[in-house]
Structure 1
Amino acid sequence: MAHQLQLEKENYRQWVKAGLGLGYLKEGLVPFCNDIADQQHKDILQNIRSTKALPSTVTCGSCQVDTLKPDHKPVGNAGFKVCPLGQVRCSCCFTKGKIACPNNICGAIYDYIVQHHASSPPAPHWKNSDAQQWSVDPWSICQCFINAPGYEQKQSASETDCTGLLHLLINNQYFHSHIACDVTETNNLFSKVRQYRNDIFHSSSLELEESEANSYIDDMIGVLQDGKELLQRSDAQIAVKKLQDLKKKDFIITTEGFEEILRQIKEEMENAPTKEEYEELKAQMSKLKEEIKRLQVEDSPQQKQLEYEKAKSESQKKLIEQYHKTLLQVPTIPLQPKSKKCSFNEIYIRPTIMREIKGEKEEIKEVKVKTMSEMFTKNGFPQKSVYVLGDAGSGKN
């Protein structure tokens, strides 16, 4: 029985690790997605203004996507019209009640979104976005590429979970030129990782085998190490380090870790498309809270040790910082203590030290000392006596 409880506890720990991994994955993707979204928005507006000879300051905040008339026109006869961009039930074919953008910009943005949606046929999720914001807010355009409900209130990449960010990377062709992975291939890495959130947070057992959890984490690392741009971004690689730490045997899940998992499940509940899924997640959250209470009792000695190690590490860090500010600061002019101070490392010059040794014919030779251990050891054994000779002020001390 004790072995079974330990096994369940370990599998639960692996499940929590995988959930924390999703949070770290999001941390690594948010800055990248924000930057590319800004670039895309700038390019869209420059292209439209240039093509239509519009003023560089023109914007619009009056159009609604449900009543907006696109710039493109349908093809076919009066009895059978189809969208030339391939969108099913496109507004271009149902123009009754549709209004052209008064500023001549939103219809062109609508066309751009359809043309750059990677699904076939293109299927932007218009309900996630507010067309009134298209000309001023980059993220409002990105929301159209998140093909799942519940993201209309997410006003930035930081408010969007990693599933939504992966939707954007997979569905937005503009983003494709910034990643090396071919997301159009079946079972590509980005699509696999997008599915992991459902696999993890819709698990009724709240358990994972270690090999499965580590496989999930490895794929998350693979996304953040995509060779086109993400691999070169420091923010993405900081997240990679956090993911790698999750796989260490001695990794300890803190109270903050539990709270992060609860936050993510709550976020899932907010985005739940059906009442059934909402109730399923609600029951899962209740079970998770009970599990946390149990583990906090069982792991209290471990938690205390973790808190002690954390406090010790912080004290060491503060002590080092204090040394750098005080003891390692010296006057630039030794005989004038009140002169401007700088770091000891900036003015220290390593002295040249020569060691006397006997040659084969008992002659004395001088050899430059390369390491300090050469001064204090001989043939691997410590020297009993060491004499240092030099002129005054040469740095013998």
Structure 2
Amino acid sequence: MAHEIHLKNNKYRQWVKAGLGLGYLKEGLAPFCDYIGRQQHNDIINKIQQTKTSQPNVPCGACQITTLQPDHVRVSKGICPLNQDKCNCCFPNNKRPCPNNVCGAIYDSIIQYHASMPPVPFWKNSDAQQWSTDPWNVCKCFINAPGYKDKTSAVDTDCTGLLHVIINNKYFRSHIGCNVTGPNNLFSKVRQYRNEIFHSSNMELEESKANCYIDDMIAVLQDGKELIHQQDAQQAVGKLQDLKQKDFVITTECSEEILKQIKDEMTKMREFTENAATKDEYEELKNKVIELERQLAKEKEGQLEAGKEQKRKFTELEAVITEQKQVKNVFLLFVSG
């Protein structure tokens, strides 16, 4: 079968194991994030009903983020009272208030709940037309990275996106016992692990490193305030603990699942090219594509040795590699332009 040659390499097996751990981490976090996101949305809507409108429900669906007038008003030219950079309040000429007296208040709430200073909601991940009815479109404003616009739920979002929401959203922070401020907190460290695993140039990890990653994933899901009491989170902890057992079997299907996730990472690179603003950012992203290309090239080599029965999968990987060369050329075009 495909990947059998690689699976004989223990360091490759450890890399696959760590990648599986990220999947289990997502399984444990998604129901929690969905539940807290719905709670936050209910609180926002209830407050609007109490202060802005007497309607029993407040659906809208008419507003666009680019033209929405917030409820708050700028202090003076270019100065937002909520300290947001490039806030809609600073460019009022083409902005319109929400016809249902709802979306401007949600806009304000998102800024006020954002934990960074100054607050920097990632509006491009979200659809303001759905804010009044869809909690996850509000949550996605706290994922400070592109590539999540089409994610319709917590279950549909990878562990990196879920960790972004927890770290960047004050409402979520209030449901976490761990102090998530600063770059070295547990939740931020685990968020970084995904980059370290998926962007590994040789797809190898020492067993001690893989186990360290998994231990920290377990620690996230055993956060003492609420996650420790969540059934889904603790079921995921059990799966993570199983990964550390010496007799845990890493199958070819496990390996293929991690490679699929790497291909998904490739798709995000296209959106990165649309959002990166400087030549330095394009250069950094170009290098990430090159690293991912090396991973797929190595996998392609293993499939070639595996025999004719893997021709279909080899062809699929070949297409992905060719596609990423095209993406890399786009990077080079911008870098040289």
Give the TM-score normalised by structure 2: 0.82
Match of 2:24 in 1: 24
Name which of 111, 114, 117 aligns with 1:120. 117
Asked whether 1:39 is paired with 2:50, we answer no
Match of 1:71 in 2: 71
CA distance in 1, matches of 2:18, 2:60: 43
Match of 1:167 in 2: 164
1:162-206 per-residue CA deviation (whole Å, 9 max, x = no partner) reads 000000000011101111011113410000000000000000011
Name which of 272, 284, 291 aligns with 2:295. 284
Match of 1:144 in 2: 141
Greater mean deviation of Cα atoms: 49-58 or 270-279: 270-279
CA distance in 1, matches of 2:183, 2:203: 28
Match of 1:61 in 2: 61
Match of 1:356 in 2: none
Task: List runs of 5+ in structure 2 lacking aligned partners.
Answer: 274-284, 308-337
Residue 91 and residue 170 in structure 1: after superposition, are their counterparts in 2 closer, same or farther (change >3 A)?
same
Check conservation: 2:7, 2:250, Cα contact below 8 A: no
CA distance in 2, matches of 1:28, 1:289: 32
CA distance in 1, matches of 2:227, 2:21: 17
- Given residue 254 of structure 1, which amino acid in structure 2 is its aligned partner? T
Superposed, 1:1-397 pairs within 5 Å as 9-76=9-76, 80-272=77-269, 273-274=272-273, 276=286, 277-291=288-302
Residue 169 and residue 6 in structure 1: after superposition, are their counterparts in 2 closer, same or farther (change >3 A)?
closer
CA RMSD of superposed structures (Å): 2.1
CA distance in 1, matches of 2:299, 2:54: 56
Greater mean deviation of Cα atoms: 266-275 or 131-140: 266-275
Match of 2:317 in 1: none
Check conservation: 2:166, 2:173, Cα contact below 8 A: yes
Structure with greater Cα Rg: 1
Greater mean deviation of Cα atoms: 276-285 or 19-28: 276-285
CA apart distance, 1:294: 6.0
- Given residue 19 of structure 2, which amino acid in structure 1 is its aligned partner? G
Residue 180 and residue 293 in structure 1: after superposition, are their counterparts in 2 closer, same or farther (change >3 A)?
farther
Higher fraction of helix: 2
Q: What SS does the aligned partner of 2:204 have?
A: coil
1:33-74 per-residue CA deviation (whole Å, 9 max, x = no partner) reads 111111111111011111113301221001000000000001
CA distance in 1, matches of 2:213, 2:187: 12
Q: What SS does the aligned partner of 1:140 have?
A: helix
CA apart distance, 1:278: 3.8
CA distance in 2, matches of 1:13, 1:39: 40
Q: Sequence identity, in percent?
A: 64
CA apart distance, 1:259: 2.3
Give the TM-score normalised by structure 1: 0.70
Aligned residues: 290
Residue 56 and residue 292 in structure 1: after superposition, are their counterparts in 2 closer, same or farther (change >3 A)?
farther
Higher fraction of strand: 1
Q: What SS does the aligned partner of 1:82 have?
A: coil
- Given residue 197 of structure 2, which amino acid in structure 1 is its aligned partner? I
Match of 1:350 in 2: none
CA apart distance, 1:262: 1.7
CA distance in 1, matches of 2:31, 2:178: 19
Match of 2:312 in 1: none
CA apart distance, 1:149: 0.6
CA apart distance, 1:295: 8.3
1:96-155 per-residue CA deviation (whole Å, 9 max, x = no partner) reads 110100000000000000011001110000000000000010000011000001111111
CA apart distance, 1:279: 4.9
